[in-house]
Amino acid sequence: MLQDDRRDALVAQVCAAHDATRAVPARAADYGEEGDFYPADWVAPYIDRRRQNGWSLYDLLGIGKGEKDKMHAQVQRNYRFFDAPVGLMFTVDRVMGRGSLIDYGMFMQNVMLAARARGLHTCPQAAWNYYAKIILPFIGASADEKLVCGMALGYADESAPVNTLHTPRETVESFARWV
Ligand SMILES: Cc1cc2nc3c(=O)[nH]c(=O)nc-3n(C[C@H](O)[C@H](O)[C@H](O)COP(=O)(O)O)c2cc1C
C-alpha cells in the first residue's frame, strides 16, 4: 500500500518513464515485463467492445481522434492513481499458475467490495503493469513475485463527467448457454 511521500515518489518515477516512452517507444521494454496480460492480437468482438468503451470515455472527456497530447495526459492519469491518495499494488508468487489468478481476481474484487462498504471507491488498473520493472523493486518485492495489477483507492468525484460513463452490458442470452 502506498500513501503520502512513497506514493508521490512512485507516481513521479512512473510518469517520467511514461513520458520517456512516448518520446522513445523502444524504451517500453526497459519498464515492462514480458507477459500475456492481454492478447498480442485482439479479435472481434473484444476489440470492438474495447474500442467502443475507449471512444465513449474520450467523448465524455472531449478528446477527439488524433489529439495525442490529450490522450497521453489522460493515460497518465492512471499513473497518478487518478489523484486518489492511496495506491495498492498486488503481486503474486511467480510459481503460481492460472488457477491462482482466478483466486486472485476474487480477492481483488473482495477488496473493492469492502472499500464500497466503507464508502470508498477503487479503480483496478492494469496500466501499471507496463512499468512493473520500476514498481517491483520500488515496493521491495522479491525476485519471486510478479505484478498482477495496481489499484487506486479513494473517494470518487461523482460530479466529474468521467465518472458518469456507463459501459454497455451484454444480454444474458449472449453469454449463457442453457442445455
Ligand atoms: C483487471 C482490470 C484492469 C483494469 N485496468 C484499468 C486501467 O488500467 N485503467 C483504467 O482506467 N481502468 C481500468 N479498469 C477499469 C475499467 O476501465 C472499468 O472496469 C471500465 O470503466 C468499465 O466499467 P465497468 O467495470 O463498470 O464495466 C480495469 C478493470 C479491471 C477489472
Nearest to 14 by CA among 89, 71, 64: 89
Could you check whether the bond before residue 25 is cis, i.e. omega within 30 degrees of 0? no
Which pairing describes strands 86-93 and 121-125: parallel, antiparallel, or unpaired?
Answer: unpaired
Distance from the alpha carbon of residue 179 to the mean position of ligand 1, in angstroms: 32
Residue 10 CA to chain centroid, in angstroms?
A: 15
User: What does the alpha-carbon distance between residue 22 and residue 24 come to, in Å, rounded to a whole number?
Assistant: 6
CATH number for 56:
3.40.109.10
Residue 57 placed within a domain: yes
The verdict on the CB of residue 78 being under 6 Å from ligand 1 is yes
pLDDT value, residue 37:
85
Q: Is 167 in the pocket of ligand 1 (CB under 6 A)?
A: yes
The pLDDT of 79-99, averaged and rounded, is: 97
Nearest CA, atom 10, ligand 1? 125
Domain-located, residue 172: no
Establish if 23 belongs to a structural domain.
yes
Question: Residue 137 domain-assigned?
Answer: yes
Within-domain flag for 162: yes
Q: Is residue 96 part of a domain?
A: yes
Rounded to 5 degrees, φ, ψ at 132 are: -55, -35
Confidence at residue 36, expressed as pLDDT on a 0 to 100 scale = 76
Q: Which helix (H) or strand (E) holds 147?
A: strand 145-154
Residue 52 covered by a domain: yes
What separation in Å is there between the alpha carbon of 38 and the centre of ligand 1? Answer: 13
Summarize pLDDT for 37-70 with one digit per residue, the tens.
Answer: 889 899 999 999 999 999 999 999 999 999 999 9
How many domains, in total, are found in the chain? 1
Nearest to 85 by CA among 162, 165, 160, 157: 157
Among protein residues, the one with the nearest Cα to ligand 1's atom 6 is 125
Residue range 107-111: mean pLDDT, rounded: 98
Helix, coil or strand: residue 3: coil
Q: Does 177 reside within a domain? A: no
Which structural domain range is residue 23 located in? 2-167
